Chain A
Amino acid sequence: MSYSITEPSNRQKWFAGILVVGYALLTLLPLAWIIATGFKTPADAIAYPPKVIFSPSLEGYVNLFTSRSRVTPEDLAALGPPTTWYDAIVRQYDMVINGPSRYGERFMNSVIIGFGSTFLSVFLGTIAAYAFSRFKVPLKDDLLFFILSTRMMPPIAVAIPIFLMYRQLGLSDTHLGMILLYTAVNLSLSVWLLKGFIDEIPIEYEEAALIDGYTRFQAFYKVVLPQAATGIASTAIFCLIFSWNEYAFAVLLTSGTAQTAPPFIPTIIGSGGKDWPAVAAGATLFLLPIMIFTILLRKHLLRGITFGAVRK
């Protein structure tokens, strides 16, 4: 091929820059609004016209983590001065703190179910992808197509059968049930992604290890796994993003013990007026882990997406 890539002109660079910055603003604005709302007072949050400049308050976060009840001014006076800063915030509204809210538990459920199912999908996906990539599997192409076909309709299309099945099996509202469900949904993605990555690893590495005196399994975990680390990391991110953010199944199948954060956060609205700052605070905290996880692995993610596009 003999074409040359010319340096873009200044005008083109400006145009590209404005496009990129504009698009970034467009996508980041809702995020910024949610984060800002988390630090507003309820009055500021619903003010019209909307307030861009406001005096920050931790009320939303206090409300997110506590359950409170209204008391009469006389009872409040009888309590004596507030002992902590969050007590003080709550008492402005004639309320007292009864105890912690359920947000912490729900958040932990999200962590257990999200990371649990991610681990399981990546683990099963890796061994399945290795088998598909390296061994003669009867009906390989049909099996791979079948695995992919589970993605051809939205998972929620099978919500009712799964709901009935889970009720029969006693898996409703259990951690195990949600982990299994998210694993099942993610597995097709992880098998296909990882098969692509493992196909790219030359088989000679394993053959060299076999000749060097290692067993097939040793060759797999000592030679193939380190090579596939990038692929595994990016697959893990995709799986985690799905199971972390999943809402529909969580609403349908969990209500208490195993309820994850996404269905829980909207319920905050109901307790004591429209508490938008608390909802926004819940959403902000919920965003953090996945943001950190993605930023940590973003190098792998980028390589993962472009992997195999260019031959080294």
Chain B
Amino acid sequence: MAQIVIKNLRKEFGAFTAVQSSSFTIEDGEFFMLLGPSGCGKTTTLRMIAGLELPTAGEIYINGTEVSQKPASKRDIAFVFQMFALYPHMNVRKNISYPLVSQGMPRDQVRAKVDEVAKILGITALLDKPVGGLSGGDRQRVALGRAVVRDPACFLMDEPLGALDAEFREHMAQELRALHDRMHATTVYVTHDQLEAMQMGDKIVVMNHGVVEQFGRPQEIYDWPATTFVATFIGSPAMNLLPFEGMVGHGATSVMLAGTEVQIPKMISGSDGTLVLGVRPEHVHLDDAAAYRGRIMAVEYLGTTQIVTLDTPLGLVKARLSSNKMVTVGETVGLRFDARSISLFGSDGRALISTANHGVLHHG
């Protein structure tokens, strides 16, 4: 089990920079998510940790040892590929044994170890089958078995659920998390699915264009996004972003939105120019007494909640309301935002520090 420290990691492919100076720390036993849209550099980062790509600059420490220039086979890590990459010319048992055979472990010991792992993963009955005929979920289990069997320092997983169909994904996600809770092995998991990241991860790194946008616990990232990118990438529907011209100073507790005053958390930093107010849909309430008004454009019914889209002076706002609340399309209503949960972003897209988010945004 291991702690992984990434320091100023950088990777260039010719003129293209895939990863620009990333730094973060993965604590021992953490289930760590690398999240971002495709092409953001998350897979490249993972492959550098694995040793399948060598970084252009920067350091990677696994348990205090600098490994960034070591070959993959010397790093004691296990990697689960999106397409599973099971050796097609071997049966299940041989696939799982393969990493042990390379270490020169005696045959009876290999056998015992494989049997044990197969039992944990519930694939004992498949051991003598060829991998070709297995279902997606079983292939995934075999791939996990091959990773688990050697007790590596950490697990690296590249969208391991990406090749599974939707209903099975949910199930495998739980299985994976349960396996992690049982083994307490450091796991680095790449995904572009923010729900998966929130659901499974102890910590999340959000990347975009090769840059680490934010790093923290799922709830911190959800509640207090560090940038407008994180605000829109995480959450469905995304955080409402309302751009406005104005200024906030140190100690401010309200901003003027289209001529109406809106309460915000007490600011620690200030900015002016084009600012952006961010509020999650569940923190938008319909209140006839509120001064900021909008017209109801559409209603999506989602069972216990409904998503109401409102046209306001500063743009469309989505509100997540309880389904029993009666709303009529075309009606003009007042919008009240939860003052404690509002984020403000400066013109550079970075969150301004307030008393509410400074605890989250000041540790990483």
Contacts and interface: CB of A to CB of B under 8 A. Distances in A.
Contacts of B359: none
B135 interface: no
Contacts of B150: 212
Contact of A208 (B51, B79, B89, B103): B79
Interface stretch (B21-29, B33-41, B69-77, B201-209): B69-77
Contact of B103 (A210, A211, A213, A226): A213
A202 B102 CA distance: 21
A205 to B, nearest CB: 5
A202 B52 CA distance: 14
B61 interface: no
A223 interface: yes
Interface in A205-231: 205, 207-215, 218, 223, 226-227
B83 A208 contact: no
Interface string A176-215: 0000000000000000000000000010110111111111
B85 interface: yes
Contacts of B51: 210-211
B88 A204 contact: no
Contact of A214 (B50, B73, B81): B73
A215 B73 contact: yes
A156 to B, nearest CB: 41
A90 to B, nearest CB: 55
Q: Which of A205, A208, A211, A213 has the most CB of B within 10 A?
A: A211
Interface residues of B, number: 22
B27 to A, nearest CB: 23
Nearest to B71: A210
Given A213-B73, A214-B73, A208 B81 contact: yes
A215 B98 CA distance: 13
Contact of A212 (B52, B88, B102): B102
A218 B103 CA distance: 13
Given A213-B99, A226-B89, A207 B73 contact: no
Contacts of B72: 207, 210-211
A213 B73 CA distance: 4
B102 A211 contact: no
B contact patch SS? loop
Given A227-B88, A227-B89, A211 B50 contact: yes
Given A204-B85, A223-B87, A212 B71 contact: no
A201 to B, nearest CB: 9
Contacts of A213: 73, 99, 102-103
Interface size class of A (residues with CB under 8 A): 10 to 19
Contacts of B73: 210-215
A117 to B, nearest CB: 28
A208 B87 contact: yes
Contacts of B78: 211
B10 interface: no
B73 to A, nearest CB: 5
B146 interface: yes
Contacts of A212: 73, 98-99, 102, 146, 150
A277 to B, nearest CB: 49
Nearest to B98: A212
B87 A211 contact: no
Given A213-B73, A227-B89, A207 B98 contact: no
A16 to B, nearest CB: 34
Contact of A205 (B87, B102, B146): B87
Contact of B81 (A204, A218, A223, A226): A204
A227 B87 CA distance: 9
A207 B81 contact: yes
Interface in A235-255: none
Q: Which of A208, A214, A218, A226 has the most CB of B within 10 A?
A: A208
Contact of A202 (B79, B83, B89, B98): B83
Interface in A151-192: none
Contacts of B87: 205, 208-209, 223
Contacts of B85: 202, 204-205, 207-208
Interface string B312-346: 00000000000000000000000000000000000
Nearest to B73: A213
A281 B14 CA distance: 63
Interface string A37-66: 000000000000000000000000000000
Given A202-B83, A204-B83, A211 B77 contact: yes
A239 to B, nearest CB: 24
A204 B156 CA distance: 14
Nearest to B102: A213
A223 to B, nearest CB: 6
Interface string A87-117: 0000000000000000000000000000000
Nearest to B81: A204
Contacts of B146: 208, 212
A117 B87 CA distance: 31
B12 to A, nearest CB: 14
Interface string B164-200: 0000000000000000000000000000000000000
9 contacts: A202-B85, A204-B83, A208-B81, A210-B71, A210-B72, A211-B51, A211-B78, A212-B102, A213-B73
Given A208-B86, A212-B73, 11 more contacts: A202-B83, A204-B81, A207-B52, A208-B85, A210-B51, A210-B52, A211-B72, A211-B73, A212-B99, A214-B73, A218-B102
Enumerate the 7 nearest inter-chain pairs by beta-carbon distance, A residue then B residue, closest first. Answer: A204-B85, A213-B102, A212-B99, A208-B85, A226-B89, A210-B72, A211-B79
